[in-house]
Structures are given as structure tokens and as C-alpha cells.
Structure 1
Amino acid sequence: MITATDLELRAGSRVLLADATLRVQPGDRIGLVGRNGAGKTTTLRVLAGEGEPYGGKVGRSGELGYLPQDPREGDLEVTAKDRVLSARGLDQLLRDMEKAQTAMAEHADEAVRDKAVARYGRLEERFASLGGYAAESEAARICSNLGLADRVLAQPLRTLSGGQRRRVELARILFAASEAGAGGGSGTILLLDEPTNHLDADSITWLRGFLKAHTGGLVVISHDVDLLADVVNKVWFLDATRGEVDTYNMDWKRYLDARAADEKRRRRERANAEKKAGALMAQAEKMRAKATKAVAAQNMIKRAEKLVSGLDEERVADKVARIRFPEPAACGRTPLTAEGLSKSYGSLEIFTGVDLAIDKGSRVVILGLNGAGKTTLLRLLGGMEAPDTGRVVAGHGLRLGYYAQEHETLDHDASVWSNVRRAAPDTPEQQLRSLLGTFLFTGEQLDQPAGTLSGGEKTRLALAGLVSSAANVLLLDEPTNNLDPASREQVLDALRRYSGAVVLVTHDPGAVEALEPERVILLPDGTEDHWSAEYLELVQLA
């Protein structure tokens, strides 16, 4: 169980939440919602114990599984399978059992062999008490349902893409929460921040079923409305205007109706109070001219002020970032070329012999199954990594803009302002400030460290860096992840309008439709083809 009392959260000096009381109990499946920047990710981090509140206390009991938006740092040399099994301590047990088996087979000395046999017996007994081979089978089932093939599970984490590593973490958390063969979970509370990112359609459907059956407690942040509608039985709405949490003990559909009714009631109450206050102020103005009624007039003014002071702040319609990709700088006919690119991690070959020519204004989608090397290819084109063989050639006038799905291009220790200033060092200060304002970064937020931003805010900041350039080739890796529906539409509209070249990696069919691609590159073979609508159904599977 998690209980937070008198909780106060801040981003810099900005109050996100004040005097909040939150409780997560077994059986609760809570959707944590609110506009981008309202404090959803910060709230989840604090509940998980990975961030400290500005005020108040958070108490936790029982097991906890937390999936953050950004990949966690850790030992990247362990295999994906061992990382998942480590949730129950099975990874080390299996390695120790293998060592004992080797000692049993290799040593001729009877005493040494007997010692190894005894050790193996103790380890196997411990392994059985933790679910043993049934638990290992359960882990494999979860991984398979999340699109993690045996080939991927055998690889070290450092060889995996950001999306694969995040799915490994999700598998680890769900394995820790599940009972072997049940899929329903024990008493573990799950705190999941955008768990459907990087999942294909089949995996999302399976995840919905798992979460709906989970009995230990759940708080989920998601822009997947279908998941919220199918899973949650309670909603926490973080109201950025008031710095409060509104709790709705109901499912998603009834919440939407109740929320709309609450907003209508607040508007009506404010209108009535303002009307009464206005009448009192008008009457007070008439009475103030007479000395005998000055005290009465002053009392009327106080009553008018009291009427409106107790009301919630008037809600300003949630602002949306006005995203427009840059007017591209002049360039030659083919600003970017790749010849014979190959990339391997150790003995694992990602792709080989990829040729690519990005012409001025061309629009290209890269498709391939998870792990086929889509992000790796973008990183090679963007100069973030070097190919094992082949080369990337910059054509006349090339100006690259690279959007990384894990926000690697941001300096998380630097401020919002410093990040954009670094992206556009020659742009006049006032012009940059105006640009940041269109991306909803103003005032004290400019001094906020980028690492403290929510996933959606980081996406907006990274896109602001792109817009501040005059890039004529954009490399975009999952640009719509973590965005609320309104901001996503802005990105899609920007894609439609941009006249430069775009190389896009995405699981979002809407982003592909907005791009209207001319060509598709299929990985890992590097095959190039003209785009056709038949490829669209592969986007979510890729």
C-alpha cells in the first residue's frame, strides 16, 4: 500500500501539487491524468521513492514495481533474460547451478564432486522454492507477449535499442508481480509511466488484459485512451490550474462525464459569484460618496472580495505548443548519402550493406521489427555512432536535425534555456525566448533543469531545439511518443507542412500518414521500395 499525506510537489519554484492526500490499495487500478507538465511523472517518481517531495510524507508497504519513462542506468553487460529473471533472484541461482553442474562433470576427485552435488542440491531446492522452472516459463511467456524474442533475450542489454530495453524492464516488473501461471499478480503495486511506448498492437492488447487482471494495485500514466477505458477503476486528475488532485472513484467513461459536469458547475458557480460581487461593488461605489454610508460601503466591498476569493481559479483552456519545423536552408540535390553501412555489437550483426540517398525534400520511412536496427541507422546517419563498415556522406549545404526517442540530445543537467541556446547559438535572445514561449516554456521554467521535465515536456524541448535550427534533413525517431493528443496533432501538422527532407522511424500510423512518404527502407536487409498503403499495417507491428 502507498499513502501520501500533505504532499507538496514543485518543479523549481512552480507548485505542481499542494496539500494532497493520495492512497493506493490492493484492487485500485488508477489512471493518473492531466495535461503535459501538470506533474504526473513527478508524482509517480515520488510515490515510487525515486524522488523526494517538497513537503509531506509518503509511506509504502509491500512490493513495488516502477517503470519510468526514460531507461534506467545499470549493468548493461547482463543479458536481457537475466535482467528479467533477476526480479525474483533466479538469474544468479541459475548461474550458480550451471557452475555446480560443471564442477560435478569435470572433477574426478570424489570429495570435490560430492561437494558440488550437495551444493547443486541446495541450489535446486532454493530454485524450486522460488517457482523454479515454472517461474522461468512464466518469464518467457511474458517476454514473448511483449515482443521479446529468444534471440533478443540472449543479448547483453548494451546491444539493445532503447525500446527493447524498456520492454525488458516492463517484462521484469510484470514478472515480479505475477504468480506463476496466473498472470494476475500478488500484492505488488505497479507504477507505470507510459507502458505502451514501443509496444506493437498485439503486445498492447495483451498488456491490457494483464493489468485488468492485476489485483495488487496499479497507477498508470498513459495517452492510450483505450487502455485507460479498459483497465482503470479510479482516476486521479492533476489540475495544473489549482495544483490539486481530483479523485474519481469510477471507471474511465463515467469519469469523463463527471469531469465535464464538474467543469460546468465550476464555471456556473464562478459566473454567479462574479455577478453578485459585481452588484455589491456597484452598490458600494454609490454609497461611498456619502460619509454616513462609508462603513457600509467598505463592508460591501469586503463581502464582494470574499465571494470571489473562495472560488477555484478560472480554468484557462489548456495551451498547446505551436510546433512548426524550420524553413530548410538551401542545399544540393542530395544532401545526405550512406554507402554500405553495417553495424554489429560483438557477434550480433544488426544490419549490413545498407545504401541510402536522401534527396532534397524527400520523405522516407524506415520499417523493421523491433531490434532490426531502425534507431541504430538513424544514429549512424546523424553521426551519433560510427558504422563498422561503410560511410555517411554529407552533401552540399547539409544541415541535420536529429530527434532522439530517448532524448539523448538533451543535456539533462542543463536548464531549458541552455539546451535551446546550445542548439541555436547564433539566434538572437529575444527570438529564442519567443520560440520557447510557443513551446510553452516561459518565466521560471527556462531555468528548470531538463532532467526534471516530464516526458512530454522533454519531447517539446527537443523539438524546440530542432525548430531553432534551419535543418534541411530531419531524422525523427518516434517524435509523437509521450505527447498528449493535442500536442501530437501539432507535430503531425508540422510534418505535413515541412518542405525539407525527413527520415522517420515510428510506431504511429498517423505520423506516417501525415508524412506522406515516397519511399520505405526495410531493415535489417536494407531493401528500398516505393511506399504503398500496404506498408501502413506493418507500422504498428514494426
Structure 2
Amino acid sequence: MLVVRDVEVRVGARLLLDKASFQVAPGDKIGLVGRNGAGKTTLTRILAGEGQPASGTITHTGSVGYLPQDPRTGDPEVLAKDRILSARGLDTVLTRLRRTEQEMASEDEDVREQAMERYSRIDAELNAAGGYAAESEAARISSNLGLPDRVLEQPLRTLSGGQRRRIELARILFAGADTMLLDEPTNHLDADSIIWLRSYLQNYSGGLMVISHDTDLLEETVNKVFHLDANRSALDVYAMNWKRYLQQRATDEERRRRERKNAERKADRLFTQAEKMGHKATKAVAAKNMARRAQRMLDGLEAERVSDRVAKIKLPDPSPSGRTPLTATGLSKAYGSLEVFAGVDLAIDRGSRVVILGLNGAGKTTLLRILAGMAEPDAGQVHPGHGLKLGYYAQEHETLDVNRTVLENMKSAAPHLNETDVRKVLGSFLFSGDDVDKPAGVLSGGEKTRLALATLVVSSANVLLLDEPTNNLDPASREEILEAIRSYAGAIVLVTHDEGAVEALEPDRVLVLPDGTEDLWTPDYAELITLA
């Protein structure tokens, strides 16, 4: 259980949340919503104990499981299955048990006897922690999240960003925490895994707070909605499900609009009457009282709610290029003995539109990184054509320097622009005032997405490599990027789980990994998008 009292959340001088009090009790399933940059991720980090509020108190009763948007945690050399099992401390127990079993087969009699004595103690310790049933439970959760056994046997460093994120989600679900804080848990999940996760959360008996742009997940799981209003730095609490929240919020907005209009009309009449009476000395006191009454009437109104601003996204006008600005031949990549893909050939013609499909771990992100020059293939080559100018959007935002500010990142991407023009572009992506001086590392997933897209806008790129560009975006911002994809005149190579993004792209070709099969796009391939 979490109990929050008078918590104030700030980023630098900017107030995100003003004196909020609430609790997350067992059985509460809370959807935390609000526009990108409102402070949802910052708030959940603080609730998880990974940051401190500017003021107020947060009390934890029981354990808390936290899934951040960018879970790059754990020793990269640890096996994926051991990372999951570590949530209950089973990884070390099982490692000791396996080592003891090997020693029991030793030819040295003393080693065998000591190992047999240890084995019963370790086995009892394992049973106390849930035993082999717990190991089976972890495997079952992993399987339902689309993590096959071969992935569980790999070190974390060999996994894709999507696989790492699913490992962390599996770890948190396996931990059985009393309270879970999940930030965009459906990112990188296929359709079957999302359906399973919805069912899991429906049956979860602890307290839950979830940030998600998946409205189906919110509709089927939450029984309360907390709306973080960025314009008012306030948390509006709705003790109801998602559908009723949408109806009630619309009703509340209309009621407030009517109340404000009526109060302003009454106050105007009082001010007018007070002004007329104020010219007469005998009625001066009454006029002042009337004016005070009108002012109190206005002061008692709730602050007017301003519509959330949306980033205006327009991808760059591509610079001139040759007929085929980018070619790849015979690309292969493996991690140790694990082959990711082999013999991939790809030719990106001027203005062409290609979608890359394949199951998680098939190498989609790895291929884009190789095309972008951020990773080396084990075999094959990438050939830049005449006039090639690449723009790369990375799903893990590794093109951003997390130690540099928003403004510094943008200046680096646009050395040809002066600071005034850079600030204008940032303003259109909702970065203004003190926001431009924040380090990129403290930005939410949605803010990082907007900053990364802003760097593309000023790039004059004629070939865009886009890796999950709609992740972490609110619905309005997602529509902006989809429209930008539709209208972009250059070539696009797209990796996505978002059917709407593929529809916006209107691909002419598809590349299916890991086989490297290239084909003309047909609607028959659409069913592979959400399975990817």
C-alpha cells in the first residue's frame, strides 16, 4: 500500500504537481493519465522511491514493483532467466544447487560427501522460497510475455530492447509485489501477450498504478483514474472505470464552463452596478462591498482548464539524392553462437517506403542500427548512395546524449541553425522556457520521443530509419507523427508494432526477418504487424 500526503513534484523550477494526497490500496487499479510531459513518469519514479518529492511524504506498506519506461537494469552478463528469478532470490539458490549437483558427481569422495550434506540444506532453502513450482511459474509468465526458452538462456547483453523490457516486466509480475507501478507495460508486447497481461492485471489482488496509452488495457483493468492536469499542476481523482471517467470528465468540463460563464455574467453586473454607485458619496461603501462580492465570486471559481497543447510534427523536406541512396548486401549478425539474421539484401530507392516485420528478437532493431552506422555487421556491407542523408529514430533514444540538455542536443543536431531558430523548433515540440535546459536523461519517454523527432525535423534527411516512433506518445501526438509519415516525401524504413503506423506509411515493400525475405507489400502481411 502507498499513502501519499501533500506531495509536491518539481523538475527544476517547474511545478508538476501541487500538494497532492492519495493512496494506492489493495484492489485499487489506477490509470494515471495526462498529456506527454505532464509528469506521470516523474511521479511514478518518486512513488517507487527512485526520486524525492519537493515536499510531502510517501509511506510504503509492503513491497513495490516498478517497471520504468527504459529498464536498462541488471548485470548484462546475467542470464535472462536468472534476472527474472532474482525477484525472489531464487537465482542464487539455484546456482548453488546446480554447482552442488556437479560436485556430487565428483571422483573425490570428500568433495562428494560435503556436497551431499550441503544439497539437503540448499534444497530446503529452495523449497522455502517456493521451490521448483516458483521456477515453473516464472517460466509460465515469461512464455505468456512472448519470451521463449532460448531467450531465457541468453545473457541480457545479447537481447533487444524489446526483449529486455519484457524480461523486466516478467520479473516484476513474478515478484508478486503488494503494489505495482507500471509505466507503459504493453510497449514491445505482441497482441497475444497484451491480451494475457490484461487478464493478469484484472485478477491481480494488490494495488496497481499504470501509465498506458493502450485504451483497451485501461478500459478492461482500471477501477480508478487519476488525471494529471499539466496546466493546473493538479491531480483529478475519478473513482470509476475508464468509460465512466471519459463521460464524467466531459460532463465536468461542461459544468465548469457553464458555472464560469454564469459567475462571470453575475460579476460583470455587480461591477457595473458598483461603478455607477461609486460616483455617489452616499453609496460609496455599498459600491465597494458590491465590488468585493463580485471579486470573491470570481476568486471562488476553479481555474479555467486549458486544452493540452500538441506537438506540431512535420518531417523535413528531403535533400536531393541519387536514385538509390542506400543499399545493403549480405548483412549477417550473431551474438556468440546465436545467429540473429544472415544474408540480408536491401535496396532503398528514392522515396521508397519499406516496413520490416518479424517476431521480437528477429533482429529488426539490430538491422536498423547497422543501416544507421551505429553497429557493425558480422558480414556484408552497407553502401551509401549519392547524396544520402540519413535520419535515425531509435526506440531506446540512444541518439540523444542524456548528459546534455534539450537545447544542447538540438544544437548538435542542427549546427546550421542559430539559437533563435532552434528554440522555435523546440517550441513547436512543446519545449519552452526552462524545459530546454533540462538534461535529456530526466525526460519522460514521451518527451524523449518528441526531442528525438525534433532532431529529425531539422536534419534534411532523405532516408529515415524509424524504430517504433509511436511508442510513449499520447493519442493526439501519435496522430501528428502518423500524419507526418503520410506526408513525408523521402524514403522511410519502418519498424513498428503499430498497425496505424503501417497504414500511414502505405509501404510498397516488406522485409521479413530473420529470413531476410523481401517482397512487395500486400494486405496479407498486415496480420504480422502485431505479432512482431
User: Given the two structures, how large is their TM-score scaled by the length of structure 2?
Assistant: 0.98
* 1:198 alignment partner, SS class: coil
Tell me, yes or no, if structure 1 residue 508 matches structure 2 residue 507.
no
Q: What code does the residue aligned with 1:116 have?
A: A
* 2:507 alignment partner, SS class: coil
Q: What code does the residue aligned with 1:133 have?
A: Y
Counterpart position of 2:76: 76
Spell out, residue by residue over 1:139-161, the C-alpha distance to the aligned partner (whole angstroms, 9 max, x if none): 11100000001111111110101
Counterpart position of 2:300: 310
* 1:112 alignment partner, SS class: helix
Is the CA contact 1:242–1:312 (under 8 Å) kept in the aligned structure 2? no
State how far apart, in whole Å, the 2-side matches of 1:265 and 1:43 are: 29
State how far apart, in whole Å, the 2-side matches of 1:24 and 1:330 are: 55
State how far apart, in whole Å, the 2-side matches of 1:416 and 1:432 are: 11
Tell me, yes or no, if structure 1 residue 389 matches structure 2 residue 403.
no
State how far apart, in whole Å, the 2-side matches of 1:94 and 1:475 are: 43
State how far apart, in whole Å, the 2-side matches of 1:255 and 1:72 are: 34
* 1:106 alignment partner, SS class: coil
Residue range with higher mean Cα deviation, 159-168 or 438-447: 438-447
Counterpart position of 1:378: 368
Q: CA deviation at 1:285?
A: 2.7
State how far apart, in whole Å, the 2-side matches of 1:250 and 1:443 are: 36
Q: CA deviation at 1:452?
A: 1.9
Tell me, yes or no, if structure 1 residue 62 matches structure 2 residue 62.
yes
Tell me, yes or no, if structure 1 residue 155 matches structure 2 residue 154.
yes
Aligned counterpart for 1:222 among listed residues 209, 212, 216: 212
Counterpart position of 1:181: none
Instruction: Give the 5 Å matches for 1:465-480.
Output: 465-480=455-470
Counterpart position of 2:181: 191
Spell out, residue by residue over 1:95-148, the C-alpha distance to the aligned partner (whole angstroms, 9 max, x if none): 111111111101322x33211101111111111111111111111110000000
* 1:10 alignment partner, SS class: strand
Instruction: Give the 5 Å matches for 1:22-101.
Output: 22-101=22-101
Structure 1 pair 305–413 and aligned structure 2 pair: CA distance change class (3 A): farther
State how far apart, in whole Å, the 2-side matches of 1:4 and 1:167 are: 29
Tell me, yes or no, if structure 1 residue 143 matches structure 2 residue 146.
no
Q: CA deviation at 1:292?
A: 4.3
State how far apart, in whole Å, the 2-side matches of 1:405 and 1:313 are: 37
* 2:417 alignment partner, SS class: coil
Is the CA contact 1:338–1:391 (under 8 Å) kept in the aligned structure 2? yes
Residue range with higher mean Cα deviation, 385-394 or 167-176: 385-394
State how far apart, in whole Å, the 2-side matches of 1:222 and 1:62 are: 24
Counterpart position of 2:349: 359
Tell me, yes or no, if structure 1 residue 408 matches structure 2 residue 407.
no
State how far apart, in whole Å, the 1-side matches of 2:141 and 2:203 are: 14
* 1:504 alignment partner, SS class: strand
Counterpart position of 2:475: 485
Spell out, residue by residue over 1:396-438, the C-alpha distance to the aligned partner (whole angstroms, 9 max, x if none): 1111110011111112222211111111011132222221121
Spell out, residue by residue over 1:27-66, the C-alpha distance to the aligned partner (whole angstroms, 9 max, x if none): 1111111111111111111110011111111110211110
Tell me, yes or no, if structure 1 residue 124 matches structure 2 residue 119.
no
State how far apart, in whole Å, the 1-side matches of 2:86 and 2:73 are: 15
Q: CA deviation at 1:393?
A: 1.4
Instruction: Give the 5 Å matches for 1:162-201.
Output: 162-177=161-176, 188-201=178-191
User: Given the two structures, how large is their TM-score scaled by the length of structure 1?
Assistant: 0.96
Residue range with higher mean Cα deviation, 462-471 or 442-451: 442-451
Residue range with higher mean Cα deviation, 451-460 or 462-471: 451-460
Counterpart position of 1:301: 291
Give the superposed CA RMSD: 1.3
Q: CA deviation at 1:291?
A: 4.3
* 2:36 alignment partner, SS class: coil
Spell out, residue by residue over 1:469-499, the C-alpha distance to the aligned partner (whole angstroms, 9 max, x if none): 1010000000000111111111110000000
Is the CA contact 1:366–1:521 (under 8 Å) kept in the aligned structure 2? yes
Residue range with higher mean Cα deviation, 347-356 or 501-510: 347-356
Aligned counterpart for 2:525 among listed residues 522, 526, 535: 535
Aligned counterpart for 1:341 among listed residues 313, 331, 342: 331
Q: CA deviation at 1:295?
A: 4.1
State how far apart, in whole Å, the 1-side matches of 2:248 and 2:389 are: 50
Identity of aligned residues (%): 66
Tell me, yes or no, if structure 1 residue 237 matches structure 2 residue 236.
no
* 1:168 alignment partner, SS class: helix
* 2:421 alignment partner, SS class: helix
Tell me, yes or no, if structure 1 residue 435 matches structure 2 residue 429.
no
Q: What code does the residue aligned with 2:135 have?
A: E
Counterpart position of 2:388: 398
State how far apart, in whole Å, the 2-side matches of 1:450 and 1:302 are: 47
Is the CA contact 1:80–1:152 (under 8 Å) kept in the aligned structure 2? yes
Q: What code does the residue aligned with 2:514 have?
A: P
Q: What code does the residue aligned with 2:46 have?
A: V
* 2:105 alignment partner, SS class: helix
Structure 1 pair 450–299 and aligned structure 2 pair: CA distance change class (3 A): farther
State how far apart, in whole Å, the 2-side matches of 1:456 and 1:450 are: 12
Instruction: Give the 5 Å matches for 1:198-209.
Output: 198-209=188-199
Q: What code does the residue aligned with 1:278 have?
A: D
Q: What code does the residue aligned with 1:189 have?
A: T
Is the CA contact 1:241–1:313 (under 8 Å) kept in the aligned structure 2? no
Counterpart position of 2:277: 287
Is the CA contact 2:231–2:308 (under 8 Å) kept in the aligned structure 1? no
* Runs (5+) with no aligned partner, structure 1: 178-186
State how far apart, in whole Å, the 2-side matches of 1:419 and 1:315 are: 32
State how far apart, in whole Å, the 2-side matches of 1:381 and 1:64 are: 40
State how far apart, in whole Å, the 2-side matches of 1:107 and 1:6 are: 66
* 2:236 alignment partner, SS class: strand
Q: What code does the residue aligned with 1:51 have?
A: G
* 2:381 alignment partner, SS class: strand
